[in-house]
A and B are shown apart, each in its own frame.
Chain A
Amino acid sequence: MTSPNPAAKRSLAQRISVERIVLALAAPVLAVVLSVAICSVLLATSGKNPFDAWNVMITYATKSDGQVAILNRSTTYYLAAAAAAFGFRMNLFNIGVEGQYKVAALFAAYIGAQVDLPAFIQIPLLLVTAMLVGGLYASIAGLLKVFRGVSEVISTIMLNAIAIAIVGLLLVPGIFAPKVSGTSNSIQTEPISRSSHFFAIQTDGGPLWGFIFIAVLVGVVFQFVLTRTRFGFDLRATGRSESAATASGVNVKRMIVISMVVSGAIAGLIGMPELLQNSFYYGQTFQPGLGFLGISIALLGRNSPIGMAFSALLFAFLDATGAQLPTQGGFPAEIVSVMEGTIVICVVVAYELVRRYGLTRQQKKVGEQLAAQLAAAEKKEVSA
Chain B
Amino acid sequence: MRSTRTPGPRSVSRFPPPWPSERNDAPPDHQETAITASDPVPLRKDGTPSAGTATTAVELRGITKRFPGVVANHDINLTVRTGTVHALMGENGAGKSTLMKILYGMQKPDEGTIAINGELCEFNTPGDAIERGIGMVHQHFMLADNLTVLENVVLGGEKIHGIGAKAKAKIKEISDQYGLGVRPDALVEDLGVADRQRVEILKVLYRGAKILILDEPTAVLVPQEVDALFDNLRELKSEGVTVIFISHKLHEVLAVADAISVIRRGTTVGDADPKAVTARQLAEMMVGAELPSPESRASTVTTDEMLDVTDLRIAKTDAEGIERVVLDDISLRIHKGEILGIAGVEGNGQAELVEAIMGMLPLDGGTVTLDGKDLSGTLTRSRREAGIGYIPEDRHKHGLLLEAPLWENRILGHVTEAPNSTGVLLNPSAARVDTQRIVEEFDVRTPGIEVTAASLSGGNQQKLIIGREMSHQPKLLIAAHPTRGVDVGAQAQIWEHIRSAQREGLAVLLISADLDELIGLSDTIRVIYRGRLVADADPATVTAEDLGTAMTGAASGHIESEPEAVAEAHAVAAEGTEAEGTDPSDTADDPQAGE
Report A's interface with B, CB cutoff 8 A. 1-2, 9, 12-13, 16-17, 227-234, 236-237, 240-241, 243-244, 246-251, 359-360, 362-367, 369-370, 373
Contact residues in B for A244 (Cβ distance below 8 Å): 397-401, 412
Which of B1-9, B45-53, B115-123, B443-451 is the contact stretch?
Answer: B443-451
Is B456 an interface position by the 8 A CB rule?
A: yes
Shortest beta-carbon contacts, A-B, top 9: A363-B68, A249-B381, A248-B413, A367-B69, A247-B398, A366-B455, A369-B447, A249-B380, A363-B455
Contact residues in A for B232 (Cβ distance below 8 Å): none
Q: Contacts A16-B451, A364-B69, A366-B451: A230 and B446 contacting too (C-beta < 8 A)?
A: no
A237 close to B412 (CB less than 8 A) = yes
> When each residue 553-595 of chain B gets 1 if its CB lies under 8 Å from chain A and 0 otherwise, what string results?
0000000000000000000000000000000000000000000
Number of interface residues of B (CB under 8 A): 51
Name the one of A2, A247, A360 contacting B447, with C-beta atoms under 8 angstroms. Answer: A2
Is B186 an interface position by the 8 A CB rule?
A: no
Other than A227-B428, A241-B400, give 18 A-B pairs with Cβ distance below 8 A: A9-B448, A12-B448, A13-B449, A233-B411, A237-B401, A240-B401, A244-B412, A247-B392, A248-B413, A249-B385, A249-B413, A359-B403, A360-B68, A362-B452, A363-B68, A366-B69, A370-B69, A373-B445
Is B421 an interface position by the 8 A CB rule?
A: yes
Name the one of A17, A232, A241, A373 contacting B397, with C-beta atoms under 8 angstroms. Answer: A241
B397 close to A366 (CB less than 8 A) = no
Closest to A241 in B: B401
CB<8 Å pairs between A and B, sample of 21:
A2-B448, A16-B451, A227-B426, A229-B425, A230-B415, A232-B426, A233-B408, A233-B411, A237-B412, A237-B415, A240-B404, A243-B398, A246-B360, A249-B383, A249-B413, A250-B381, A360-B68, A363-B69, A366-B451, A370-B447, A373-B445
Q: Chain A nearest CB: distance from B107 CB in Å? A: 14
Name the one of A17, A228, A229 contacting B450, with C-beta atoms under 8 angstroms. Answer: A17
Contact residues in A for B451 (Cβ distance below 8 Å): 16, 362, 366
Closest to A254 in B: B379
A251 close to B381 (CB less than 8 A) = yes
Report how far A29 CA is from B27 CA in the complex, Å.
69
Q: Chain A nearest CB: distance from B501 CB in Å? A: 19
A230 close to B416 (CB less than 8 A) = yes
Contact residues in A for B167 (Cβ distance below 8 Å): none
Q: Chain B nearest CB: distance from A282 CB in Å? A: 36
Contact residues in B for A246 (Cβ distance below 8 Å): 360, 380, 398
Contact residues in B for A360 (Cβ distance below 8 Å): 68
Report how far A359 CA is from B383 CA in the complex, Å.
34
A241 close to B392 (CB less than 8 A) = no
Question: Could you say which of A16, A230, A251, A366 has the most chain B C-beta atoms within 10 Å of its C-beta?
Answer: A366
Is B310 an interface position by the 8 A CB rule?
A: no
Contact residues in A for B158 (Cβ distance below 8 Å): none
Contact residues in A for B408 (Cβ distance below 8 Å): 233
Contact residues in B for A229 (Cβ distance below 8 Å): 424-426
B404 close to A230 (CB less than 8 A) = no
Q: Chain B nearest CB: distance from A16 CB in Å? A: 6
Closest to B440 in A: A2
B68 close to A233 (CB less than 8 A) = no
Q: Chain A nearest CB: distance from B467 CB in Å? A: 13
A230 close to B401 (CB less than 8 A) = no
Question: Could you say which of B381, B428, B450 has the most chain A C-beta atoms within 10 Å of its C-beta?
Answer: B450
B425 close to A228 (CB less than 8 A) = yes
Contact residues in B for A367 (Cβ distance below 8 Å): 68-70, 455
Report how far A312 CA is from B539 CA in the complex, Å.
65
A366 close to B456 (CB less than 8 A) = yes
B455 close to A230 (CB less than 8 A) = no
CB-CB contacts below 8 Å: B103-123 with A: none
Q: Contacts A237-B412, A250-B381, A362-B455: A1 and B392 contacting too (C-beta < 8 A)?
A: no
CB-CB contacts below 8 Å: B361-420 with A: 379-385, 390, 392, 397-404, 408, 411-416
Contact residues in A for B444 (Cβ distance below 8 Å): 1
Name the one of A230, A247, A363 contacting B421, with C-beta atoms under 8 angstroms. Answer: A230
Is B188 an interface position by the 8 A CB rule?
A: no
Closest to B382 in A: A249
Is B33 an interface position by the 8 A CB rule?
A: no
Q: Contacts A241-B402, A244-B400, A247-B360: A364 and B426 contacting too (C-beta < 8 A)?
A: no
Q: Chain A nearest CB: distance from B449 CB in Å? A: 8
Contact residues in B for A228 (Cβ distance below 8 Å): 425-426, 428
B448 close to A13 (CB less than 8 A) = yes
Q: Contacts A240-B404, A247-B380, A359-B454: A1 and B445 contacting too (C-beta < 8 A)?
A: yes
B450 close to A243 (CB less than 8 A) = no
Contact residues in B for A369 (Cβ distance below 8 Å): 447
Report how far A370 CA is from B457 CA in the complex, Å.
11
CB-CB contacts below 8 Å: B431-472 with A: 436, 439-440, 443-452, 454-456
Is B260 an interface position by the 8 A CB rule?
A: no
Is B547 an interface position by the 8 A CB rule?
A: no
Q: Chain B nearest CB: distance from A236 CB in Å? A: 8
Report how far A290 CA is from B428 CA in the complex, Å.
36
Closest to B68 in A: A363
Contact residues in A for B69 (Cβ distance below 8 Å): 363-364, 366-367, 370
Contact residues in A for B414 (Cβ distance below 8 Å): 248
Question: Could you say which of B384, B413, B416 has the most chain A C-beta atoms within 10 Å of its C-beta?
Answer: B413
Report how far A1 CA is from B443 CA in the complex, Å.
7
Report how far A246 CA is from B426 CA in the complex, Å.
19
B447 close to A12 (CB less than 8 A) = yes
Is B358 an interface position by the 8 A CB rule?
A: yes
Report how far A251 CA is from B415 CA in the complex, Å.
13
Closest to A360 in B: B68
Contact residues in A for B400 (Cβ distance below 8 Å): 241, 244
A251 close to B397 (CB less than 8 A) = no
Report how far A249 CA is from B448 CA in the complex, Å.
27
Report how far A215 CA is from B439 CA in the complex, Å.
41
Name the one of B399, B402, B440 contacting A247, with C-beta atoms under 8 angstroms. Answer: B399
Contact residues in A for B455 (Cβ distance below 8 Å): 359, 362-363, 365-367
Contact residues in B for A12 (Cβ distance below 8 Å): 447-448, 450
Report how far A246 CA is from B361 CA in the complex, Å.
10
Report how far A339 CA is from B68 CA in the complex, Å.
38
Contact residues in B for A373 (Cβ distance below 8 Å): 445, 447
Closest to A364 in B: B68
Contact residues in A for B428 (Cβ distance below 8 Å): 227-228
Name the one of B382, B402, B425, B439 contacting A230, with C-beta atoms under 8 angstroms. Answer: B425
B397 close to A243 (CB less than 8 A) = yes
Name the one of A243, A249, A370 contacting B445, with C-beta atoms under 8 angstroms. Answer: A370
Q: Chain B nearest CB: distance from A91 CB in Å? A: 13
Report how far A367 CA is from B70 CA in the complex, Å.
7
Closest to B422 in A: A230
Q: Chain B nearest CB: distance from A47 CB in Å? A: 46
Contact residues in A for B360 (Cβ distance below 8 Å): 246-247
Name the one of A233, A363, A365 contacting B426, with C-beta atoms under 8 angstroms. Answer: A233
> When each residue 341-361 of chain B gets 1 if its CB lies under 8 Å from chain A and 0 otherwise, what string results?
000000000000000001010
Report how far A247 CA is from B360 CA in the complex, Å.
7
Contact residues in A for B390 (Cβ distance below 8 Å): 247
Contact residues in A for B416 (Cβ distance below 8 Å): 230, 249
Contact residues in B for A251 (Cβ distance below 8 Å): 379-381
CB-CB contacts below 8 Å: B239-286 with A: none
Contact residues in B for A237 (Cβ distance below 8 Å): 401, 404, 412, 415
> When each residue 48-88 of chain B gets 1 if its CB lies under 8 Å from chain A and 0 otherwise, what string results?
00000000000000000001111000000000000000000
B68 close to A249 (CB less than 8 A) = no
Question: Could you say which of B390, B392, B439, B447 has the most chain A C-beta atoms within 10 Å of its C-beta?
Answer: B447
Q: Chain A nearest CB: distance from B481 CB in Å? A: 14
A2 close to B415 (CB less than 8 A) = no
Closest to B354 in A: A247
Contact residues in B for A13 (Cβ distance below 8 Å): 448-450
Contact residues in B for A236 (Cβ distance below 8 Å): 404
Contact residues in A for B67 (Cβ distance below 8 Å): 363
Closest to A233 in B: B415
